[in-house]
Chain A
Amino acid sequence: MINKNSELALEFWRTGILPCPIRDFHAHMDEHAEIYFPFSSADEMVKDMDRNGVKSLFFCGHFALDDPLYGEQYNVKAVRKYPDRLRAYHIIHSRCLDPEREIREVDENPDVYVGFKLLGDYNRFPVDDPVHDPYYEYLNETKKFLLLHTWGGSAWDGIDNVESIAKRFPEIRIICGHSFFSRQKEGAERLKKYPNVYFELTAIPIVRGYLEDIVNAAGSERVLFGTDLPWFSTMHGVGMVLGADIGDEDRKNIFYRNGDRLLGSRG
């Protein structure tokens, strides 16, 4: 039953389906050199979303993440095929920047892109470096999303780096992917004062106790659900949220209410 104290968990256990929608703010797509995925195409991912009650999914495909020349087209293709379900983050390669073109691509394709994604650790480049300012100025002006890979103790995308962006660009919807894993409590405590900073749950399920830290420090209103699909099962994250020591109202905030509010506020 997962959690005898949760009506949501009991209903899930009875039917095998979560009795509320899910908005997934952190996903990928297509194959990856280091990993075997049982499925990874847009078609398969949407089928998986249907089965698990995932209403919308924001992603940045692996081809875009790792190929600065040709990868982005696959994001566009997938969103155009499933316009009611998918939206993409345009990747920023910190060592291979072309802000004029990339901002134009996002701006001219609002049906495809919700913002940008940046992986400081993978680029080994600080996310708050001023080279990114043109992107951040655009996001600040348009109130779009910035999904950051964030990790505890990182010199590239740690708490200090993200705080620096949040201070200078208060209108950007900053999603802290992985919630500063291993420093999640400190990250949530320090950054909750910035109302547009959100904490996302990918990787958090692998350490029992981390989710409670984030919810207790920042409040469930600041937590967004994410899976890294096709890396991790949607239900692996769902099970963590259902079983964690938080309330059903918190769970609903995380699964969909915060996402609905954020998307509604963007129009």
Chain B
Amino acid sequence: MKILDCNLNFGATNNGEPYQNCDTFAELLEELGRCGIGGGLVRCGYSSTVGVNYGNDFVARCVKSDEAKKFDLYGVWAVLPPYTDETPKPEDLPAAMKENRIGAVYLSPRTHRYELNALTMGETLDVLQQKKIPVLLNTANGIWMDQIYRVMAEFPGLTAVVADQDCWPNARRLYPLAYHYENLRLDLSYVMDAGGVEDMTARFGEEKLVFGTAFPYRYTGSMLAVVRSAAISDGAREKIFGGNLEKMLEEAGLK
């Protein structure tokens, strides 16, 4: 069974803590090998902590490197409003992503200090929506849940992958989104609820769910064990573990 993880991260954090660290891409690959994850989407934290292009370029170099070749890894880029000309123009973005083995973008209006709305990001979001490019909306990465609700209301066709980092289960916040938006998927990284995967599969169908671990912040084993043992069909399990993300990348022309 192929396992792809939609929420992988690396990059030195400079926080002085011995926890939740994966400073280098080599460490990330070692962890993937140790726990049997075949690839997925990887974000370089430098795009939030150092510079957007510094991090975007860094991850592109890593996923295209020789050592990454035994994994099915795609990078994740941060995108900014086009008015400051810092990231590729909206119309150039899909080709640039394809060329650099980038499988998704993430929006981080809090960290990158911009207003997330149609005025600032409309052109970019139009392209992302039209091209079905996966857009990661993760409250761990500089976006509030109310911003996710607003951007989905304005761009309801987005191929969004939503994650809500918390230490409590959050079905009351996540389920309305999953019910309402056809192309929206839920990243399971923080879905540690007892019976959560089974409940979501029964309600929305397994096509809405994408496996994620939030490595290195959380233990990769946790969500691997939850999905491995979930009381769902093997077919559903395969889609959640990798099939759904693979299909998203294919539909976006990025695979």
Residue from B198, B218, B226, B230 within 8 A of A208 (CB atoms):
B218
State whether A231 touches B194 (Cβ < 8 A).
yes
**With a CB–CB cut-off of 8 A, which chain A residues contact B68?**
none
State whether B222 touches A236 (Cβ < 8 A).
yes
State whether A243 touches B35 (Cβ < 8 A).
yes
Stretch from A9-17, A64-72, A87-95, A259-267 that touches the partner: A9-17
Which residues from 2 to 20 on chain A have a C-beta closer than 8 Å to any C-beta of chain B? 2-5, 9, 12-13, 16-17
Instruction: Give min CB distance, A241 to chain B, whole Å.
Output: 8
State whether A208 touches B34 (Cβ < 8 A).
no
In the complex, residue of chain A having the shortest beta-carbon distance to the beta carbon of B169: A35
Q: How far apart sit A48 and B195, CA to CA, in the bound complex (Å)? A: 9
With an 8 A cutoff between CB atoms, is A38 at the interface?
yes
Which residues from 200 to 242 on chain B have a C-beta closer than 8 Å to any C-beta of chain A? 215-226, 228-231
State whether A48 touches B194 (Cβ < 8 A).
yes
Q: How far apart sit A203 and B224, CA to CA, in the bound complex (Å)? A: 17
State whether A3 touches B192 (Cβ < 8 A).
no
State whether A230 touches B195 (Cβ < 8 A).
yes
Instruction: Give min CB distance, A243 to chain B, whole Å.
Output: 2
With an 8 A cutoff between CB atoms, is A227 at the interface?
yes
Considering only CB atoms and an 8 Å cut-off, how many residues of chain A contact the other chain?
44
With an 8 A cutoff between CB atoms, is A116 at the interface?
no
State whether A239 touches B224 (Cβ < 8 A).
yes
Instruction: Give min CB distance, B230 to chain A, whole Å.
Output: 8
State whether A36 touches B171 (Cβ < 8 A).
yes
**With a CB–CB cut-off of 8 A, which chain A residues contact B225?**
2, 12, 235-236, 238-239, 242-243
With an 8 A cutoff between CB atoms, is A210 at the interface?
yes
With an 8 A cutoff between CB atoms, is B196 at the interface?
yes
State whether B193 touches A240 (Cβ < 8 A).
no
Q: How far apart sit A141 and B197, CA to CA, in the bound complex (Å)? A: 44
With an 8 A cutoff between CB atoms, is B19 at the interface?
yes
With an 8 A cutoff between CB atoms, is A229 at the interface?
yes
State whether B219 touches A205 (Cβ < 8 A).
yes
**With a CB–CB cut-off of 8 A, which chain B residues contact A239?**
219, 221-226
What mask results when residues 172 to 204 of chain B are scored 1 for a CB within 8 Å of chain A, else 0?
100100000000000000001111111100000
**With a CB–CB cut-off of 8 A, which chain B residues contact A1?**
35-36
**With a CB–CB cut-off of 8 A, which chain A residues contact B169?**
35-37, 231-232
With an 8 A cutoff between CB atoms, is A244 at the interface?
yes
Q: How far apart sit A52 and B175, CA to CA, in the bound complex (Å)? A: 26
What mask results when residues 215 to 240 of chain A are scored 1 for a CB within 8 Å of chain B, else 0?
00000000000010111111111111
In the complex, residue of chain B having the shortest beta-carbon distance to the beta carbon of A240: B219
Q: How far apart sit A232 and B228, CA to CA, in the bound complex (Å)? A: 16
A38/B221 contact (C-beta < 8 A), A5-B34, A208-B19, A209-B19 known: no
In the complex, residue of chain B having the shortest beta-carbon distance to the beta carbon of A241: B221
With an 8 A cutoff between CB atoms, is A34 at the interface?
yes
**With a CB–CB cut-off of 8 A, which chain A residues contact B175?**
36
In the complex, residue of chain B having the shortest beta-carbon distance to the beta carbon of A36: B171
With an 8 A cutoff between CB atoms, is A39 at the interface?
yes
In the complex, residue of chain B having the shortest beta-carbon distance to the beta carbon of A34: B168
Which residues from 19 to 36 on chain B have a C-beta closer than 8 Å to any C-beta of chain A? 19-21, 33-36
In the complex, residue of chain B having the shortest beta-carbon distance to the beta carbon of A51: B231
**With a CB–CB cut-off of 8 A, which chain A residues contact B18?**
209
With an 8 A cutoff between CB atoms, is A206 at the interface?
yes
Instruction: Give min CB distance, A258 to chain B, whole Å.
Output: 20
In this complex, which of B35, B194, B217 has the most chain A Cβ atoms within 10 angstroms of its Cβ? B194
Q: How far apart sit A38 and B27, CA to CA, in the bound complex (Å)? A: 36
State whether A232 touches B194 (Cβ < 8 A).
yes
With an 8 A cutoff between CB atoms, is A96 at the interface?
no
Instruction: Give min CB distance, B187 to chain A, whole Å.
Output: 15
In this complex, which of B221, B226, B231 has the most chain A Cβ atoms within 10 angstroms of its Cβ? B221
With an 8 A cutoff between CB atoms, is B167 at the interface?
yes
State whether B228 touches A13 (Cβ < 8 A).
yes
**With a CB–CB cut-off of 8 A, which chain B residues contact A35?**
168-169, 171-172
State whether B195 touches A37 (Cβ < 8 A).
yes
A232/B195 contact (C-beta < 8 A), A238-B225, A242-B221, A243-B35 known: no
Q: How far apart sit A46 and B116, CA to CA, in the bound complex (Å)? A: 46
Residue from A4, A207, A244 within 8 A of B19 (CB atoms):
A207
A16/B194 contact (C-beta < 8 A), A36-B169, A243-B221, A244-B219 known: no
Residue from A2, A12, A36 within 8 A of B220 (CB atoms):
A2
Q: Could you list 13 examples of A-B contacts with CB < 8 Å? A: A1-B35, A2-B228, A34-B168, A39-B194, A207-B218, A211-B219, A232-B194, A233-B192, A234-B194, A242-B221, A243-B219, A243-B220, A244-B219
A residues adjacent to B (C-beta < 8 A): 1-5, 9, 12-13, 16-17, 34-39, 48, 51-52, 203, 205-211, 227, 229-244
